[in-house]
Structure 1
Amino acid sequence: MTGIKHIVWDWNGTLLDDNHAVLGAVNEVCGLFGREPIDLEHWRSTFRRPIVPFYEELLGRTFADGEWEQVNAAYERYYSAALPQCSLADGVPGLLHDWAATGRTQSLLSMASHEHLVPLIAERGLSEHFTRVDGRRFDTAKDSKAEHLIAHLAGLGADPETVVLIGDIDDDGHAAREAGARAILVASGIMSRERLEATGHPVADTPAEAVRVLRGR
Protein backbone atom coordinates (compact mmCIF):
# COMPACT_ATOMS: atom_id res chain seq x y z
CA MET A 1 0.00 0.00 0.00
CA THR A 2 2.88 2.38 -0.68
CA GLY A 3 2.26 5.53 -2.69
CA ILE A 4 -1.36 6.01 -1.58
CA LYS A 5 -2.32 9.68 -1.55
CA HIS A 6 -6.13 9.45 -1.61
CA ILE A 7 -8.86 7.30 -0.03
CA VAL A 8 -12.22 6.81 -1.72
CA TRP A 9 -14.61 5.80 1.05
CA ASP A 10 -17.73 3.72 0.62
CA TRP A 11 -20.68 4.83 2.76
CA ASN A 12 -23.25 2.13 3.62
CA GLY A 13 -21.70 -0.62 5.72
CA THR A 14 -18.34 1.16 5.78
CA LEU A 15 -18.48 4.65 7.31
CA LEU A 16 -22.15 4.16 8.28
CA ASP A 17 -23.07 1.26 10.56
CA ASP A 18 -26.42 0.45 8.99
CA ASN A 19 -26.45 -3.36 8.90
CA HIS A 20 -29.56 -3.57 11.09
CA ALA A 21 -31.45 -1.07 8.92
CA VAL A 22 -30.50 -2.95 5.75
CA LEU A 23 -31.60 -6.27 7.22
CA GLY A 24 -34.88 -4.83 8.43
CA ALA A 25 -35.57 -3.34 5.01
CA VAL A 26 -34.75 -6.64 3.29
CA ASN A 27 -37.14 -8.48 5.60
CA GLU A 28 -39.80 -5.89 4.81
CA VAL A 29 -39.40 -6.93 1.17
CA CYS A 30 -39.45 -10.61 2.12
CA GLY A 31 -42.74 -10.12 3.95
CA LEU A 32 -44.25 -8.32 0.98
CA PHE A 33 -43.52 -11.32 -1.23
CA GLY A 34 -44.41 -14.03 1.29
CA ARG A 35 -40.87 -15.14 2.08
CA GLU A 36 -39.65 -16.06 5.55
CA PRO A 37 -37.37 -13.42 7.13
CA ILE A 38 -33.63 -13.95 6.94
CA ASP A 39 -30.90 -13.29 9.49
CA LEU A 40 -27.81 -11.14 9.05
CA GLU A 41 -25.46 -14.05 8.45
CA HIS A 42 -27.64 -15.29 5.59
CA TRP A 43 -27.58 -11.82 4.05
CA ARG A 44 -23.81 -11.45 4.50
CA SER A 45 -23.20 -14.83 2.90
CA THR A 46 -25.45 -14.33 -0.14
CA PHE A 47 -25.74 -10.63 -1.07
CA ARG A 48 -24.23 -9.72 -4.42
CA ARG A 49 -24.55 -7.49 -7.44
CA PRO A 50 -26.28 -7.28 -9.91
CA ILE A 51 -28.99 -6.69 -7.38
CA VAL A 52 -32.16 -7.52 -9.35
CA PRO A 53 -31.28 -11.17 -10.08
CA PHE A 54 -30.03 -11.50 -6.50
CA TYR A 55 -33.43 -10.43 -5.15
CA GLU A 56 -35.20 -12.76 -7.59
CA GLU A 57 -33.13 -15.64 -6.21
CA LEU A 58 -33.77 -14.54 -2.61
CA LEU A 59 -37.53 -14.36 -3.18
CA GLY A 60 -37.70 -17.44 -5.39
CA ARG A 61 -39.43 -15.75 -8.29
CA THR A 62 -38.89 -13.64 -11.39
CA PHE A 63 -40.28 -10.13 -11.10
CA ALA A 64 -43.34 -9.23 -13.13
CA ASP A 65 -43.75 -5.73 -14.54
CA GLY A 66 -43.82 -3.19 -11.73
CA GLU A 67 -42.69 -5.57 -8.98
CA TRP A 68 -39.11 -4.31 -8.82
CA GLU A 69 -40.52 -0.85 -8.21
CA GLN A 70 -42.51 -2.34 -5.30
CA VAL A 71 -39.32 -3.84 -3.90
CA ASN A 72 -37.54 -0.49 -4.07
CA ALA A 73 -40.44 1.35 -2.47
CA ALA A 74 -40.78 -1.12 0.42
CA TYR A 75 -37.04 -1.17 1.03
CA GLU A 76 -36.66 2.62 0.96
CA ARG A 77 -39.69 3.15 3.20
CA TYR A 78 -38.29 0.93 5.96
CA TYR A 79 -34.66 1.98 5.53
CA SER A 80 -35.47 5.70 5.61
CA ALA A 81 -37.43 5.26 8.84
CA ALA A 82 -34.54 3.33 10.44
CA LEU A 83 -31.76 5.60 9.17
CA PRO A 84 -31.85 8.17 12.01
CA GLN A 85 -30.97 5.36 14.45
CA CYS A 86 -27.88 4.34 12.44
CA SER A 87 -24.60 5.48 13.93
CA LEU A 88 -21.29 6.14 12.26
CA ALA A 89 -18.76 3.32 12.34
CA ASP A 90 -16.43 3.15 15.33
CA GLY A 91 -13.73 5.79 15.04
CA VAL A 92 -15.63 8.05 12.62
CA PRO A 93 -15.16 10.99 12.22
CA GLY A 94 -11.85 10.82 14.10
CA LEU A 95 -10.15 8.62 11.54
CA LEU A 96 -11.16 11.09 8.79
CA HIS A 97 -9.48 13.89 10.77
CA ASP A 98 -6.39 11.76 11.29
CA TRP A 99 -6.03 10.92 7.59
CA ALA A 100 -6.41 14.58 6.59
CA ALA A 101 -3.73 15.48 9.14
CA THR A 102 -1.22 13.46 7.11
CA GLY A 103 -1.68 15.94 4.24
CA ARG A 104 -3.47 13.43 2.05
CA THR A 105 -7.03 13.59 0.71
CA GLN A 106 -10.23 11.58 0.74
CA SER A 107 -13.57 11.45 -1.03
CA LEU A 108 -16.78 9.45 -0.80
CA LEU A 109 -18.49 7.29 -3.43
CA SER A 110 -21.70 5.38 -2.79
CA MET A 111 -24.17 3.41 -4.85
CA ALA A 112 -26.96 5.20 -2.97
CA SER A 113 -28.66 7.82 -5.10
CA HIS A 114 -26.74 11.09 -5.32
CA GLU A 115 -29.77 13.15 -4.31
CA HIS A 116 -30.21 11.05 -1.17
CA LEU A 117 -26.53 10.89 -0.25
CA VAL A 118 -25.33 14.50 -0.40
CA PRO A 119 -27.74 15.97 2.19
CA LEU A 120 -27.22 12.94 4.44
CA ILE A 121 -23.45 13.49 4.52
CA ALA A 122 -24.05 17.16 5.31
CA GLU A 123 -26.49 16.31 8.11
CA ARG A 124 -23.87 14.06 9.68
CA GLY A 125 -21.35 16.92 9.59
CA LEU A 126 -18.92 15.07 7.34
CA SER A 127 -18.92 17.10 4.11
CA GLU A 128 -15.82 19.10 5.04
CA HIS A 129 -13.70 15.96 5.11
CA PHE A 130 -14.21 15.07 1.46
CA THR A 131 -12.87 16.67 -1.69
CA ARG A 132 -15.79 15.12 -3.60
CA VAL A 133 -19.01 13.27 -2.70
CA ASP A 134 -20.74 11.18 -5.36
CA GLY A 135 -23.73 8.93 -5.14
CA ARG A 136 -25.17 6.90 -8.00
CA ARG A 137 -25.70 9.40 -10.81
CA PHE A 138 -26.43 6.94 -13.64
CA ASP A 139 -27.48 3.32 -14.19
CA THR A 140 -25.18 0.70 -15.71
CA ALA A 141 -25.85 -2.64 -17.36
CA LYS A 142 -23.65 -4.54 -14.88
CA ASP A 143 -24.92 -2.70 -11.78
CA SER A 144 -21.33 -2.39 -10.54
CA LYS A 145 -19.47 0.43 -8.81
CA ALA A 146 -16.69 0.15 -11.41
CA GLU A 147 -18.05 2.68 -13.90
CA HIS A 148 -18.96 5.05 -11.07
CA LEU A 149 -15.45 4.84 -9.59
CA ILE A 150 -13.85 5.56 -12.96
CA ALA A 151 -16.07 8.65 -13.33
CA HIS A 152 -15.39 9.66 -9.72
CA LEU A 153 -11.61 9.52 -10.19
CA ALA A 154 -11.88 11.44 -13.45
CA GLY A 155 -13.83 14.14 -11.63
CA LEU A 156 -11.12 14.31 -8.99
CA GLY A 157 -8.33 14.31 -11.55
CA ALA A 158 -6.68 11.58 -9.46
CA ASP A 159 -4.07 9.08 -10.59
CA PRO A 160 -5.70 5.67 -9.87
CA GLU A 161 -2.34 4.22 -8.85
CA THR A 162 -2.30 6.58 -5.86
CA VAL A 163 -5.86 5.74 -4.77
CA VAL A 164 -7.30 3.10 -2.43
CA LEU A 165 -11.01 2.34 -2.19
CA ILE A 166 -12.20 1.26 1.26
CA GLY A 167 -15.50 -0.59 1.09
CA ASP A 168 -17.39 -3.57 2.48
CA ILE A 169 -18.37 -5.81 -0.46
CA ASP A 170 -16.57 -7.71 -3.19
CA ASP A 171 -17.84 -5.31 -5.86
CA ASP A 172 -15.77 -2.56 -4.21
CA GLY A 173 -12.70 -4.69 -4.84
CA HIS A 174 -13.80 -5.39 -8.40
CA ALA A 175 -14.37 -1.67 -9.01
CA ALA A 176 -10.91 -0.79 -7.73
CA ARG A 177 -9.27 -3.31 -10.07
CA GLU A 178 -11.29 -2.07 -13.04
CA ALA A 179 -10.28 1.52 -12.30
CA GLY A 180 -6.59 0.72 -11.76
CA ALA A 181 -6.77 1.55 -8.04
CA ARG A 182 -6.25 -0.56 -4.94
CA ALA A 183 -8.74 -1.65 -2.27
CA ILE A 184 -9.01 -2.56 1.38
CA LEU A 185 -12.26 -4.31 2.32
CA VAL A 186 -13.78 -4.10 5.80
CA ALA A 187 -15.47 -7.10 7.39
CA SER A 188 -17.84 -5.04 9.56
CA GLY A 189 -20.34 -4.44 6.74
CA ILE A 190 -22.78 -6.57 4.76
CA MET A 191 -20.46 -9.23 3.36
CA SER A 192 -18.71 -12.04 5.23
CA ARG A 193 -14.96 -11.99 5.78
CA GLU A 194 -14.56 -15.25 3.85
CA ARG A 195 -16.12 -13.76 0.73
CA LEU A 196 -14.02 -10.60 1.05
CA GLU A 197 -10.81 -12.57 1.47
CA ALA A 198 -11.64 -14.54 -1.68
CA THR A 199 -11.19 -11.33 -3.70
CA GLY A 200 -7.47 -11.27 -2.95
CA HIS A 201 -7.66 -7.74 -1.51
CA PRO A 202 -6.50 -6.98 2.05
CA VAL A 203 -9.31 -7.28 4.61
CA ALA A 204 -9.53 -5.24 7.81
CA ASP A 205 -11.94 -5.67 10.70
CA THR A 206 -12.98 -2.01 10.72
CA PRO A 207 -12.47 1.23 8.79
CA ALA A 208 -10.16 2.43 11.56
CA GLU A 209 -7.97 -0.65 11.10
CA ALA A 210 -7.91 -0.06 7.34
CA VAL A 211 -6.50 3.42 7.92
CA ARG A 212 -3.92 2.06 10.36
CA VAL A 213 -2.79 -0.34 7.64
CA LEU A 214 -2.38 2.58 5.24
CA ARG A 215 -0.43 4.57 7.79
CA GLY A 216 1.88 1.62 8.46
CA ARG A 217 0.80 1.11 12.05
Structure 2
Amino acid sequence: MELDFLLNRTTKATPAPITIVWDWNGTLRNDLDDHVAALNATLPGLGGEPISVETYQALHRMPIRDFYTDVLGRQLGDEEWHAADTAFLSELARRPVRLQQGARQLMMGLRARGVRQSLLSLAPHERLVGEVESVGITGLLERVDGRPGPSVPSKAPAMIAHLQALGPGVDPSRTLVIGDSVDDAVAAHAVGAVPVLHSTGLHGATRLATAGVPLVETIQDAVATGIAIITSRQLAAA
Protein backbone atom coordinates (compact mmCIF):
# COMPACT_ATOMS: atom_id res chain seq x y z
CA MET A 1 0.00 0.00 0.00
CA GLU A 2 1.06 3.61 -0.50
CA LEU A 3 1.60 4.23 3.23
CA ASP A 4 4.02 1.27 3.45
CA PHE A 5 5.99 2.68 0.54
CA LEU A 6 6.29 6.10 2.15
CA LEU A 7 7.35 4.70 5.51
CA ASN A 8 9.95 2.42 3.95
CA ARG A 9 11.51 5.30 2.04
CA THR A 10 11.57 7.46 5.17
CA THR A 11 13.14 4.71 7.27
CA LYS A 12 15.95 4.24 4.76
CA ALA A 13 16.69 7.95 4.68
CA THR A 14 17.03 8.47 8.46
CA PRO A 15 16.95 6.24 11.55
CA ALA A 16 14.65 8.58 13.49
CA PRO A 17 11.05 7.31 13.61
CA ILE A 18 8.08 9.37 12.60
CA THR A 19 5.99 10.50 15.56
CA ILE A 20 2.25 11.21 15.37
CA VAL A 21 0.66 13.38 18.05
CA TRP A 22 -3.08 12.80 17.93
CA ASP A 23 -5.83 15.12 19.11
CA TRP A 24 -8.69 13.46 20.99
CA ASN A 25 -12.12 15.15 20.83
CA GLY A 26 -13.30 15.26 17.24
CA THR A 27 -10.19 13.45 15.98
CA LEU A 28 -9.61 9.99 17.48
CA ARG A 29 -12.86 10.22 19.42
CA ASN A 30 -15.96 10.37 17.23
CA ASP A 31 -17.98 12.80 19.34
CA LEU A 32 -19.17 15.72 17.23
CA ASP A 33 -22.82 14.74 17.70
CA ASP A 34 -22.20 14.16 21.42
CA HIS A 35 -20.71 17.64 21.85
CA VAL A 36 -23.60 19.28 20.06
CA ALA A 37 -26.14 17.36 22.16
CA ALA A 38 -24.31 18.16 25.42
CA LEU A 39 -24.12 21.85 24.54
CA ASN A 40 -27.78 21.96 23.59
CA ALA A 41 -28.67 20.39 26.93
CA THR A 42 -26.72 23.20 28.64
CA LEU A 43 -27.87 26.23 26.66
CA PRO A 44 -31.49 26.50 27.90
CA GLY A 45 -30.25 27.08 31.44
CA LEU A 46 -28.25 30.02 30.11
CA GLY A 47 -31.16 31.49 28.19
CA GLY A 48 -29.92 30.17 24.86
CA GLU A 49 -31.50 28.19 22.03
CA PRO A 50 -30.26 24.84 20.67
CA ILE A 51 -27.88 25.06 17.71
CA SER A 52 -27.24 22.82 14.71
CA VAL A 53 -24.15 20.74 13.97
CA GLU A 54 -23.24 23.18 11.21
CA THR A 55 -23.47 26.16 13.57
CA TYR A 56 -21.40 24.33 16.17
CA GLN A 57 -18.63 23.61 13.66
CA ALA A 58 -18.72 27.18 12.39
CA LEU A 59 -18.49 28.81 15.84
CA HIS A 60 -16.49 26.38 17.97
CA ARG A 61 -13.17 27.85 19.12
CA MET A 62 -10.74 28.12 21.98
CA PRO A 63 -10.99 29.17 24.70
CA ILE A 64 -14.38 27.49 25.12
CA ARG A 65 -15.66 30.37 27.23
CA ASP A 66 -15.38 32.61 24.15
CA PHE A 67 -17.27 29.99 22.16
CA TYR A 68 -20.16 30.32 24.63
CA THR A 69 -20.02 34.09 24.17
CA ASP A 70 -20.42 33.67 20.41
CA VAL A 71 -23.28 31.20 20.79
CA LEU A 72 -25.20 33.21 23.41
CA GLY A 73 -24.34 36.70 22.19
CA ARG A 74 -23.21 37.72 25.67
CA GLN A 75 -20.40 37.06 28.11
CA LEU A 76 -20.82 34.69 31.03
CA GLY A 77 -19.89 35.65 34.56
CA ASP A 78 -17.34 33.47 36.35
CA GLU A 79 -19.87 31.48 38.39
CA GLU A 80 -22.18 31.09 35.42
CA TRP A 81 -19.31 29.91 33.21
CA HIS A 82 -18.02 27.33 35.69
CA ALA A 83 -21.54 25.98 36.21
CA ALA A 84 -22.10 25.76 32.46
CA ASP A 85 -18.76 24.01 31.89
CA THR A 86 -19.48 21.52 34.67
CA ALA A 87 -22.95 20.81 33.27
CA PHE A 88 -21.55 20.31 29.77
CA LEU A 89 -18.84 17.90 30.90
CA SER A 90 -21.33 15.99 33.04
CA GLU A 91 -23.69 15.61 30.08
CA LEU A 92 -20.84 14.56 27.79
CA ALA A 93 -19.64 11.96 30.32
CA ARG A 94 -23.00 10.20 30.09
CA ARG A 95 -22.39 9.35 26.44
CA PRO A 96 -20.39 6.27 25.39
CA VAL A 97 -16.89 6.85 24.02
CA ARG A 98 -16.62 5.92 20.34
CA LEU A 99 -13.56 6.02 18.12
CA GLN A 100 -13.59 7.30 14.56
CA GLN A 101 -14.26 4.54 12.06
CA GLY A 102 -11.10 2.52 11.46
CA ALA A 103 -9.07 4.45 14.06
CA ARG A 104 -7.90 1.44 16.08
CA GLN A 105 -6.88 -0.51 12.99
CA LEU A 106 -5.04 2.52 11.63
CA MET A 107 -3.14 3.00 14.88
CA MET A 108 -2.24 -0.68 15.14
CA GLY A 109 -0.90 -0.63 11.60
CA LEU A 110 1.20 2.44 12.29
CA ARG A 111 2.68 0.92 15.43
CA ALA A 112 3.57 -2.25 13.51
CA ARG A 113 5.46 -0.07 11.03
CA GLY A 114 7.51 1.65 13.73
CA VAL A 115 5.58 4.93 13.96
CA ARG A 116 5.54 6.41 17.47
CA GLN A 117 2.14 7.71 18.63
CA SER A 118 0.96 9.89 21.50
CA LEU A 119 -2.12 11.86 22.40
CA LEU A 120 -2.45 15.48 23.52
CA SER A 121 -5.77 17.07 24.40
CA LEU A 122 -7.07 20.07 26.29
CA ALA A 123 -9.73 17.85 27.88
CA PRO A 124 -9.33 17.36 31.65
CA HIS A 125 -6.48 14.90 32.16
CA GLU A 126 -8.12 12.34 34.45
CA ARG A 127 -11.26 12.18 32.32
CA LEU A 128 -9.15 11.87 29.17
CA VAL A 129 -7.11 8.97 30.55
CA GLY A 130 -10.29 7.12 31.53
CA GLU A 131 -11.87 7.63 28.11
CA VAL A 132 -8.78 6.43 26.27
CA GLU A 133 -8.57 3.35 28.46
CA SER A 134 -12.24 2.58 27.89
CA VAL A 135 -11.70 2.11 24.14
CA GLY A 136 -8.56 0.00 24.52
CA ILE A 137 -5.94 2.14 22.77
CA THR A 138 -3.77 3.16 25.75
CA GLY A 139 -1.19 0.53 24.84
CA LEU A 140 -0.77 2.05 21.38
CA LEU A 141 0.21 5.45 22.79
CA GLU A 142 3.51 6.42 24.40
CA ARG A 143 1.91 9.30 26.31
CA VAL A 144 -1.60 10.56 27.02
CA ASP A 145 -1.67 14.16 28.21
CA GLY A 146 -4.71 16.26 29.03
CA ARG A 147 -4.91 19.59 30.82
CA PRO A 148 -4.25 19.33 34.56
CA GLY A 149 -6.08 22.52 35.54
CA PRO A 150 -8.52 25.16 34.29
CA SER A 151 -9.34 25.73 30.63
CA VAL A 152 -6.53 27.39 28.66
CA PRO A 153 -6.65 29.51 25.48
CA SER A 154 -4.24 27.47 23.35
CA LYS A 155 -2.68 24.03 23.04
CA ALA A 156 0.73 25.43 22.03
CA PRO A 157 2.35 25.50 25.52
CA ALA A 158 1.06 22.00 26.21
CA MET A 159 2.47 20.78 22.88
CA ILE A 160 5.92 22.09 23.77
CA ALA A 161 5.79 20.28 27.13
CA HIS A 162 4.38 17.14 25.50
CA LEU A 163 7.23 16.78 23.01
CA GLN A 164 9.78 17.44 25.73
CA ALA A 165 8.20 14.67 27.82
CA LEU A 166 8.41 12.24 24.89
CA GLY A 167 12.18 12.56 25.10
CA PRO A 168 15.17 13.44 22.94
CA GLY A 169 14.36 10.72 20.40
CA VAL A 170 11.56 12.86 18.94
CA ASP A 171 12.52 15.00 15.94
CA PRO A 172 9.94 17.82 15.59
CA SER A 173 10.53 17.96 11.82
CA ARG A 174 9.49 14.31 11.66
CA THR A 175 6.50 14.80 13.96
CA LEU A 176 2.97 14.87 12.54
CA VAL A 177 0.20 16.62 14.49
CA ILE A 178 -3.30 15.50 13.48
CA GLY A 179 -6.27 17.51 14.73
CA ASP A 180 -9.56 19.18 13.90
CA SER A 181 -8.94 22.80 14.92
CA VAL A 182 -6.90 25.80 13.84
CA ASP A 183 -5.33 25.70 17.31
CA ASP A 184 -3.93 22.23 16.54
CA ALA A 185 -2.08 23.79 13.60
CA VAL A 186 -0.85 26.64 15.79
CA ALA A 187 0.43 24.14 18.36
CA ALA A 188 2.23 22.14 15.66
CA HIS A 189 3.95 25.25 14.34
CA ALA A 190 5.04 26.13 17.89
CA VAL A 191 7.28 23.04 17.97
CA GLY A 192 8.21 22.88 14.30
CA ALA A 193 5.99 19.87 13.59
CA VAL A 194 3.90 19.12 10.50
CA PRO A 195 0.18 19.85 10.99
CA VAL A 196 -2.61 18.17 9.03
CA LEU A 197 -6.24 18.94 9.83
CA HIS A 198 -9.35 16.92 9.03
CA SER A 199 -12.88 18.19 8.50
CA THR A 200 -14.91 15.46 10.22
CA GLY A 201 -14.39 16.84 13.73
CA LEU A 202 -15.59 19.75 15.84
CA HIS A 203 -14.59 22.49 13.38
CA GLY A 204 -15.97 23.04 9.89
CA ALA A 205 -13.86 23.06 6.74
CA THR A 206 -14.32 26.79 6.08
CA ARG A 207 -12.76 27.74 9.39
CA LEU A 208 -10.03 25.11 9.15
CA ALA A 209 -9.00 26.40 5.73
CA THR A 210 -7.91 29.67 7.36
CA ALA A 211 -5.03 27.82 9.04
CA GLY A 212 -3.22 27.52 5.71
CA VAL A 213 -2.18 23.91 6.30
CA PRO A 214 -3.17 20.64 4.58
CA LEU A 215 -6.87 19.91 5.10
CA VAL A 216 -8.36 16.47 4.40
CA GLU A 217 -11.60 14.65 5.16
CA THR A 218 -10.54 11.72 7.35
CA ILE A 219 -7.84 10.76 9.83
CA GLN A 220 -6.67 8.09 7.38
CA ASP A 221 -6.13 10.81 4.77
CA ALA A 222 -4.38 12.92 7.40
CA VAL A 223 -1.85 10.17 8.16
CA ALA A 224 -1.09 9.54 4.49
CA THR A 225 -0.79 13.26 3.71
CA GLY A 226 1.40 14.05 6.71
CA ILE A 227 3.79 11.14 6.14
CA ALA A 228 4.07 12.10 2.46
CA ILE A 229 5.06 15.65 3.48
CA ILE A 230 7.68 14.43 5.96
CA THR A 231 9.06 11.98 3.41
CA SER A 232 9.29 14.53 0.63
CA ARG A 233 11.10 17.00 2.89
CA GLN A 234 13.55 14.33 3.98
CA LEU A 235 14.27 13.33 0.38
CA ALA A 236 14.71 16.97 -0.67
CA ALA A 237 17.24 17.51 2.12
CA ALA A 238 19.21 14.36 1.29
Runs of 4+ deviating beyond 3 Å: 1-4
Structure 1 pair 135/54, CA: closer, same or farther in 2 (3 Å)?
A: same
Structure 1 pair 43/13, CA: closer, same or farther in 2 (3 Å)?
A: same
The CA deviation at 1:145 is 0.5
- Partner Cα separation in structure 1 for residue 130 and residue 69 of structure 2: 31
Quick check: 1:46 aligned with 2:59? yes
Q: Which residue of 2 aligns with 1:99?
A: 110
Q: Is the 8 A contact 2:19 2:115 kept in 1?
A: yes
Q: Which residue of 2 aligns with 1:153?
A: 163
Q: Which residue of 1 aligns with 2:231?
A: none
- 1:1-217 alignment runs, 5 A limit: 5-82=18-95, 84=96, 86-139=97-150, 143-157=153-167, 158-216=170-228
Q: What secondary structure, in the 3-state scheme, does the structure 2 residue paired with 1:66 have? A: helix
Q: Which runs of 5+ in 2 are unaligned?
A: 1-5, 229-238
* Identity among equivalent pairs (%): 38
- Partner Cα separation in structure 1 for residue 220 and residue 101 of structure 2: 7
Q: What secondary structure, in the 3-state scheme, does the structure 1 residue paired with 2:94 have? A: helix
Q: Is the 8 A contact 2:176 2:226 kept in 1?
A: no
Q: Which moved more, 1:52-61 or 1:65-74?
A: 52-61
Q: Is the 8 A contact 2:23 2:119 kept in 1?
A: yes
Q: Which moved more, 1:57-66 or 1:146-155?
A: 57-66
Map Cα deviations across residues 142-199 of structure 1 (whole Å, 9 max, x no partner). 6101011100000002222121110011110111111211111011001111211221
Task: Give the TM-score normalised by structure 2.
Answer: 0.84
The CA deviation at 1:139 is 4.6
- Partner Cα separation in structure 1 for residue 116 and residue 71 of structure 2: 39
Q: Is the 8 A contact 1:169 1:190 kept in 2?
A: yes
Q: Is the 8 A contact 1:99 1:211 kept in 2?
A: no
Q: What secondary structure, in the 3-state scheme, does the structure 2 residue paired with 1:184 have? A: strand
- Partner Cα separation in structure 2 for residue 112 and residue 189 of structure 1: 15
The one-letter code matched in structure 1 to 2:180 is D
Q: Which has the larger radius of gyration?
A: 2
Task: Give the TM-score normalised by structure 1.
Answer: 0.92
Q: Is the 8 A contact 2:43 2:49 kept in 1?
A: yes
Q: Which runs of 5+ in 1 are unaligned?
A: none
The CA deviation at 1:53 is 2.2
The CA deviation at 1:57 is 2.6
CA RMSD of aligned residues (A): 1.8
- Partner Cα separation in structure 1 for residue 165 and residue 78 of structure 2: 36
The one-letter code matched in structure 2 to 1:42 is T
Structure 1 pair 174/215, CA: closer, same or farther in 2 (3 Å)?
A: closer
The CA deviation at 1:5 is 0.7
The CA deviation at 1:87 is 2.0
Q: What secondary structure, in the 3-state scheme, does the structure 2 residue paired with 1:62 have? A: coil
- The aligned length equals 213
The CA deviation at 1:38 is 0.4
